A = this chain, B = another copy of it.
Amino acid sequence: MGGNTTGSAFRVTTWGESHGPALGAVIDGCPAGLELAEEDIQQALDRRRPSTGVASTTRAEEDTVEILSGVFEGRTTGTPVSLMIRNQDARFASYEALKDVFRPGQGDYTYFRKYGLRDWRGGGRASGRETAARVAAGAVAGKLIATAGMKVLAYTKNIGGIEIGNMCVSPSEEWIKKVRENSLHCPDEKAAAVMERKLAAVREEGDTLGGVVEIIVSGCPAGLGEPVFEKMDAALACALMGIGTVKAVETGDGIDVAFKKGSEVNDQMNEKGFMKNSAGGILAGITTGEDIILRAWCKPIPSIACGQQTVDIQGRNRSIQIQGRHDVCVIPRIVPVCEAMVSLVLADHWLRQKAVRL
C-alpha cells in the first residue's frame, strides 16, 4: 500500500531520502542465474550523475552502489537483490532556512499535508535524488530483458522548445553511441549545441527549462501486457508519470491520432508484418513485436533562483529565494531514469508472460 513497490513478478521496493544515510532498492523475483556485478549497475548510475555540462548542479555525489544480497559467485541466486548507495555529500545547511516554508512546485506542501510532518533536508524522499535507486534497480532489469533481446533507449528529444527530428525506426548503433556520448543525451549534436546555449542563458536568469524525452524499446516480443488494468501502455504510462517531473505521456503517435481518421491510424498488416507503427508497438494493451515508442513531457525544475511568493507551515505569507545547488534542466538526468522505469515494466511483464499459456 505504501506506494514504494512496483511490479508483481519482478518486484522492486525503493527506500531512502535525499540527505539520509543512504538510498537503495530491493529486487524480489529476479530469476536465478543472471550474471550480475556492481559494474553493471554503476554504469547506469554514472550516466544519471550530474555531468559537467551547463544543465547540472555541482553536488558531487559519487553514487557508488553496493550489492548486499542475492548474488553469489557472479550470478543471481533467485533471492532478493539488495542494492545500497551511501549518501556522501549530505550537507543540508542551505535547506535549514526553508524548513518551515513550502517551496513552490515542490512536494513540500503536499508531503506535509499527507504525513503531518516532513523531512525538509533537500526534499527528503520527494527529492529527485530518490531516482538513483530506481536507476540501480532498472539496470538489473535491463540486464535481465537483454537476455531476451530487448533494448531500451531514451534520449533528449526537446529542451526548452528546441526539438530534434525523428530518428529512423529501431535505433542504430551509431545513433545509440551519439546518445551515450552527448552530455545532454541528445543524438543531434547541432541541436544539442543550441540547447546548451539556451540553458546557459536561462541559468543566467536564475530560471529553469523543461523538455521532452523519447524512449524506444527494440526487440520486445509480441504478447507482453495484460488485458484490462495492467495493459502495457498503462503500465508504462504509470512508470513514466511516476517520475516527479513528468506531466504528460504519449505512446506511438499519441496526441496526433486524436485528430486523425481510423483509416489513417490503423496499422495494416501484410505477410511481412505491420506496414507502419502508429500504435507504437502496443495494441489493446499488449505488445505487437514492433518498437515500443513513448514520449515523456517534463516540466522545468521548480528550484529557481528568482524570488517567489509562498506560505509557511502556519499559513503566513513568505517571500523566498532558493539557494543551493540546483540543475537548470532536468532532462539529461531524467533520460536514464526513463530507461530504468521502462526496463522495470518490461522485466515484470516478460516474467509474468511465462505463466500465461498452459
In the complex, which of the residues A82, A207, A258, A356 has the most CB atoms of chain B within 10 Å of its own CB atom? Answer: A258
Interface with B: A47-55, A105-113, A164-172, A183-191, which one?
A: A105-113
CB-based nearest B residue for A77: B119
Interface size on A, as a range, is 35 or more
A1 → chain B closest CB, angstroms: 5
B residues less than 8 Å from A114 (CB atoms):
32, 78, 222-225, 286, 353, 356
> Does A248 have its Cβ within 8 Å of any Cβ on chain B?
yes
Inter-subunit contact A226/B4 (CB<8 Å): yes
Inter-subunit contact B247/A251 (CB<8 Å): yes
> Does A104 have its Cβ within 8 Å of any Cβ on chain B?
yes
> Does A209 have its Cβ within 8 Å of any Cβ on chain B?
yes
A216-248 CB mask vs B (1 if < 8 Å, else 0) is 000000111111111101111111111010011
A180 → chain B closest CB, angstroms: 23
A274 → chain B closest CB, angstroms: 9
7 A-B residue pairs with Cβ-Cβ distance under 8 Å, sorted by A, are A16-B80, A78-B357, A210-B260, A229-B242, A234-B238, A237-B241, A258-B298
- In the complex, the 9 A-B pairs of residues with the closest C-beta atoms, listed nearest first: A3-B226, A107-B284, A2-B28, A3-B230, A238-B238, A110-B286, A234-B242, A208-B262, A15-B80
Q: Identify which of B211, B263, B268, B286 contacts A310 (C-beta below 8 A).
A: B268
Inter-subunit contact A258/B147 (CB<8 Å): no
What is the CA–CA distance of A84 and B270 in the complex, to the nearest angstrom? 40
B residues less than 8 Å from A4 (CB atoms):
26, 28, 79-80, 226-229
B residues less than 8 Å from A75 (CB atoms):
117
Other contacts beyond A15-B70, A23-B69, A248-B248: 14, CB < 8 A? A4-B229, A17-B69, A21-B69, A32-B117, A32-B357, A110-B222, A115-B357, A161-B259, A207-B262, A207-B263, A230-B242, A231-B244, A237-B238, A266-B308
> Does A138 have its Cβ within 8 Å of any Cβ on chain B?
no
> Does A46 have its Cβ within 8 Å of any Cβ on chain B?
no
Inter-subunit contact A72/B241 (CB<8 Å): no
